[in-house]
Amino acid sequence: MGRLDGQVVIVTGGTGGIGRAVCRGVVAEGGRVTVADVGRERIDEVVAELGSERALGFPFEAREDENHALVQTTLSTFGRIDGLVAAAGILRKRGTPPKPVVQITVDEWDDVIDINLKGTFLSNRAVLPTLIAQHSGTIVNVSSVSGLVGRAHDGAYCASKFGVVGLSQVLAEEVRRDGVRVQVVCPHAIDTPMWEQNHPVPKPGDALPPERVGELIVTLLALPADTTLLNVQIAPLGARKRKPKPETAAS
């Protein structure tokens, strides 16, 4: 028996680096998972890896009707929902380089906000009626350290991730008495394909593998029902250099 034995978790962005790691972790801990993302081929690949008895594939976009269908399909297939991990996100509009806010177009801004912030809102709102009705369940939203500290040339991304943190805090307050907990994870640099969108900025040498973030999210899903951690940050220990210990003088 695993920590999530018998539970069902929806993962948006389920074929990406962090999302895929979460899907693997949920199944490894005895749970079942709905893999929601764009692109049928990548979804089928993840479902084939995890096994169709444990994983359901659901291709969707960040739209209201498709989030509703995602929840209903999961309920009709597995009979329950115990958690949601909102991991779908982009760094910037595909094919555009890092740029200052003054140069960001409205289309570029809307792309990031729609997927990262509006998409998180829609998936959270879609699943909450089920969790509230059963007086249990966990939502984990994936933000970023860029949702805590603004970074030059990432205006839309930072705005969206700050929004995810704020939204998560509001929801946590609203549904705590209903037995539902909402938590938010703020990863440091992660070694995922998203870094390809950051060209020409090089990937940090100490970027965490997505599996480490996946492990953390699975742990949050498995926490006791009366335990909530907000704004959980995860970063490699070497991300901040420590001062060497002073040598002790010989006596």
Q: What domains are there in the chain, each with its CATH number?
A: 8-239 (3.40.50.720)
Q: What is the mean pLDDT of the chain?
A: 89
- Binned at pLDDT 50, 70 and 90, residue 249 comes out as very low
Please write the tens of the pLDDT for every residue from 30-70. 999 999 999 899 999 999 999 999 999 999 998 999 999 99
The pLDDT value given to residue 184: 95
Q: 27 catalytic, yes or no?
A: no
- Binned at pLDDT 50, 70 and 90, residue 251 comes out as very low
The pLDDT value given to residue 250: 44
Helix or strand run (H / E) with residue 70: helix 64-78
> Higher confidence at residue 245 or residue 216?
216
- Has residue 240 got a pLDDT over 70? no
Identify the active-site residue in 58, 60, 78, 157: 157
The pLDDT value given to residue 193: 63
Nearest to 92 by CA among 117, 119, 111, 114: 111
3-state SS, one letter per residue, for 159-214: HHHHHHHHHHHHHHHHHHHHCEEEEEEEECCECCHHHHHHCCCCCCCCCECHHHHH
Q: What sign does the CA torsion over 184, 83, 214, 91 have?
A: negative
Please write the tens of the pLDDT for every residue from 190-223. 766 666 666 566 666 677 888 999 999 999 999 9
Please write the tens of the pLDDT for every residue from 158-170. 999 999 999 999 9
In the numeric block, which tokens belong to residue 60? 């969707």
Residues counted in the chain? 251
